[in-house]
Amino acid sequence: MKLLRKVSILALTFFASLNGGAQDRTRQVDQPARFLHPNPPVTVVVDLDGKEMLDRVAKAGPDWLKRVSFQVTNISGKNISAIRLDLILKEPIYETREASPESAGIVINLDLRLSEPRIDVLPPGGATTIRPTSQQIDYWTKYAREQGIADIERAILEIRQVEFTDDTGWYLGHRTRKDPQSGKSVFIQENAGPDRVFKPVSSFVEDRVSAFFWILILQPARSLFLGYARYRPGWVCLAHLSTFIHAN
């Protein structure tokens, strides 16, 4: 009886360790070189359960994306009116020539609408916490499972765009400004020559109704489209045009 009891305890311990190992795995928020752009106006610290992920790595269960948040600090010296971060759950398959759900990327868009507490302007030196919604995580992890990704262990962070209250901005490492005549944003040329218009014209929707509509309906469609278009030059213009409804 004692031997049987010891065997039972060992078996339970073994299976418990297996279950725990299946749940708690190494999770990472990565930022490869190709997703780093020069002179970003903000810094981002990645938190898990309100504590910084050292080296952006931690042990956590499959619900870890719901527990992740981003501490964004304004280091620009200007008032920031809009921020755009991308949390990439799956990169597109770049070498494919056929557009399909299997080759598309999965991207969650984050901005000041998701700040806690909600703010409209981030002052110089100010910091805020931005967190993906449960609806976003549920939708995209379900979609990932449908594509054969049972558990997401690594996500990629990209700082894409920042807009300032003085009508200037930063986009993938380039300085921008709003043209007073057309109202469109243009790249500021570092060398002599006219500034170039860039797209998207705007990447932000201000009102809460539009934001809700975007998170639940438009963003899923756009993310699939960008997965196809991001590394296909012929589609890039259309992908950027679909980014957000122009708020101006």
* Alpha-carbon span 147 to 248, nearest angstrom: 37
Q: What is the rounded average pLDDT of the residues 70-79?
A: 98
Q: With residue 229 as reference, give the H or E element that holds it.
A: helix 219-229
Residue 231 lies in a domain: yes
Structural domain including 112 reads 25-241
> Which residues have CB under 8 Å from 189's CB, separation 6+?
195, 196
Residue 3 lies in a domain: no
Q: What is the rounded average pLDDT of the residues 16-37?
A: 78
Residue 140 lies in a domain: yes
Q: What is the pLDDT of residues 167-212, one digit of tens each?
A: 999 999 999 999 888 888 898 876 655 555 555 434 443 333 344 4
Q: What is the pLDDT of residue 206?
A: 35
Q: What is the pLDDT of residues 39-63, one digit of tens each?
A: 999 999 999 999 999 999 999 999 9
Q: Are 84 and 162 in contact (CB under 8 A)?
A: yes
24: left (phi over 0), alpha (psi -120 to 50) or beta: beta
Q: At residue 235, does pLDDT exceed 50? A: no
> Which residues have CB under 8 Å from 11's CB, separation 6+?
none
Q: What is the pLDDT of residue 222?
A: 53
Residue 1 lies in a domain: no
Residue 97 lies in a domain: yes
Q: With residue 160 as reference, give the H or E element that holds it.
A: strand 154-164
Residue 118 lies in a domain: yes
Domain count for the chain, please give it: 1
* Alpha-carbon span 93 to 228, nearest angstrom: 9
| Residue 196 tokens, joined | 């170039």
Judged by average pLDDT, the poorest of 74-83, 128-137, 208-217 is: 208-217
Residue 143 lies in a domain: yes
pTM given for the model: 0.70
Q: At residue 244, does pLDDT exceed 50? A: no
| DSSP string for residues in 166-225 | TSEEEETTEEEEE-TTT--EEEPPSSSSPPEE-S-S-----SHHHHHHIIIIIHHHHHHH
Three-state SS at 142: helix
Residue 144 lies in a domain: yes
Q: At residue 101, does pLDDT exceed 60? A: yes
